[in-house]
Amino acid sequence: MSIRHGTIEVSGIRVEVVRKPIKNLHLSVHPPEGRVRVSAPTRTDDEAVRLAVVSKLRWIRRHQQTFAAQPRQSPREMVGGESHFFLGRRYRLRVLEQAGPNNLRLKGNSELTLRVRPGTDRDKREQLLNDWYRGHMKSIIPDLIEKWQPVIGVHVADWGVKKMKTRWGSCNIRDRRVWLNLELAKKPPHCLEYVLVHEMVHLLERHHNDRFKTFMDEFMPQWRLYRDELNQAPLAHDEWGY
């Protein structure tokens, strides 16, 4: 599949343009800075893209303002006293340096205890936390897929969890593979379920068009509430939206 990337500027807004073999033009705005992206049919010229962007300028600027006002966490240093999120709850990190295997455990409803060997650096501590998040997600995703496959009427051939900077999830329609963002371990469980359903519905409809929204309304009527909750929650310093 031939894909061409380029940029244009419209009313002071930098627009990323991706031309590929699709039928319709799609415009999207991505947090945190409000990056504007247009996916356009291969033969669409710059003027047609420009006109499409101009027609949506108020919508674009409204979304950019919303993203600019969204709260964000400062970069995590992985030291005692920091706040970290798990399943939508805030936990205070307690770091204990001691001999023995590294591990991480929840203590009650307010503390996340990280036990590490003396001298363990920040990156290794963060890796331990991310591995713990990943393990949790991998323990619950199979049951969610089994729950939703008969409801949606699709089969997920493969799935995985990884860090993604530009989206909460993705779907390879040809391979029927779903990827979910590791950051979803920090969000309320229904947000993870919403993103999974969203990606599974792409196996029925590739684009975010009216048909896609009709499917979402049928399978998960409250999906818009979950989407808004997900995108209004505090973002990690390097995290995008959905």
SS3 label, residue 89: strand
* Residue appearing with tokens 């997600």: 137
pLDDT at 71: 60
Distance separating alpha carbons of residues 102 and 107, to the nearest angstrom: 16
Indicate if the pLDDT at residue 239 is higher than 60. Answer: no
Bridge partner list, 6? 17
pLDDT at 237: 39
Tokens found for residue 40? 């356009």
pLDDT band at 235 (very low <50, low <70, confident <90, very high): low
- Residue 147 Ramachandran class (φ > 0 left, ψ -120 to 50 alpha, else beta): alpha
Regarding predicted confidence, which is higher, 141 or 74? Answer: 141
All structural domains of the chain, each given as residue ranges with its CATH number in brackets, are 4-68 (no CATH), 83-232 (3.30.2010.10)
**Residue of 15, 17, 18, 21 whose CA lies nearest to 42:** 21
pLDDT at 233: 62
Summarised one tens digit per residue, pLDDT across range 72-85 is: 566 778 999 999 99
Indicate if the pLDDT at residue 207 is higher than 50. Answer: yes
Q: DSSP state, 72?
A: B
Indicate if the pLDDT at residue 238 is higher than 70. Answer: no
| The dihedral sign for the CA sequence 88, 229, 169, 73 | negative
Regarding predicted confidence, which is higher, 233 or 114? Answer: 114
- pTM of the predicted protein model: 0.72
Distance separating alpha carbons of residues 239 and 165, to the nearest angstrom: 6
Indicate if the pLDDT at residue 202 is higher than 60. Answer: yes
